[in-house]
């Protein structure tokens, strides 16, 4: 039983975490704090602001007060981490770890580690972001040796709008992305504003390959850092591998 602290920007798909907590089925907890989001926009200046060290430090302190001792902590925001580049994202995590006093990571690094766990070297990317922000994630993945064979950017500006997309739309979007590069080892859906927990098994079944989603890998990474990444059902291929 582990306690994984989640720092989540704004309000969009935060309810994925209590849903996932029920599926963990071992008493592990995913307490969540909403970090400050002055501007809800998939835009570089806004993303740099929401991922600032001061913002995350305040969130970590709030988590410690509300949730008690943590086993790990995750900055559950993909664009608010990769936008800093590989070195900047690493510094962001290091600063968070110093503040929280427990192992820390972010969703961007969670995607990299999840790909490594599954032996994934090529991906098809289905991003809700505008093309320039999606391109920054491509650069991040490429830096870590992950080849992006195709990219689909839905050009949605706000996380709030992304959070309204129903599960059926998510599955159809992922299927369309996969069809553009059937040779890809996996499909990545990199926005934590996207509801995916309820459709993780459906995504993998429909596409016939792993679909890695932002909230999924964030939870997995937190459990991994806490030494609790055991096999679990109902959360897709990544969790089934342990």
Supply the pLDDT for residue 155: 78
Tell me the C-alpha distance between 171 and 176, whole Å.
9
The residue among 149 and 160 whose pLDDT is bigger is 149
Write the pLDDT tens digit of every residue in 116-139.
999 999 999 999 888 999 999 999
Supply the pLDDT for residue 242: 65
Coil, strand or helix: which one is 33?
Answer: strand
Confidence of residue 38 (pLDDT cuts 50, 70, 90): confident
Write the pLDDT tens digit of every residue in 150-204.
998 877 777 777 878 888 899 999 999 998 899 999 999 999 999 999 999 999 9
Its CATH architecture, for the domain 111-213, is 3-Layer(aba) Sandwich (3.40)
Q: Where in the chain is the domain with CATH 3.40.50.12500?
A: 4-109+215-236, 111-213
Average pLDDT of the chain, as a whole number: 93
CATH class of 4-109+215-236: alpha beta
């Amino acid at each position: 039983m582990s306690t994984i602290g989640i720092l989540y920007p704004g309000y969009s798909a935060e309810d994925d975490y209590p849903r996932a907590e029920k599926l963990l089925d071992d008493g592990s907890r995913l307490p969540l704090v909403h970090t400050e989001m002055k501007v809800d926009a998939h835009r570089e200046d806004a993303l740099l602001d929401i991922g600032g060290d001061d913002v995350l430090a305040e969130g970590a302190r709030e988590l410690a007060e509300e949730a008690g001792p943590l086993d790990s902590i995750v900055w559950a925001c993909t664009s608010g981490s990769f936008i800093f580049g590989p070195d900047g994202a690493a510094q962001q995590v290091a600063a968070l770890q110093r503040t929280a006093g427990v192992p820390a990571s972010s969703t961007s690094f969670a995607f990299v580690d999840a790909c490594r766990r599954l032996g994934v070297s090529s991906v098809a990317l289905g991003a809700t972001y505008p093309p320039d922000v999606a391109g920054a994630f491509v650069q991040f993945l490429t830096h870590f040796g992950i080849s992006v064979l195709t990219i689909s950017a839905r050009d949605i500006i706000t996380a709030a709008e992304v959070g309204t997309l129903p599960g059926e739309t998510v599955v159809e979007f992922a299927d369309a992305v996969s069809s553009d590069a059937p040779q890809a080892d996996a499909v990545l859906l990199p926005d934590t504003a996207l509801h995916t927990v309820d459709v993780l098994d459906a995504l993998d079944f429909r596409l016939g390959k792993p679909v890695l989603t932002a909230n999924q890998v964030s939870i997995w990474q937190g459990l991994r850092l806490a030494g609790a990444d055991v096999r679990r059902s109902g959360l897709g291929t990544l969790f089934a591998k342990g």
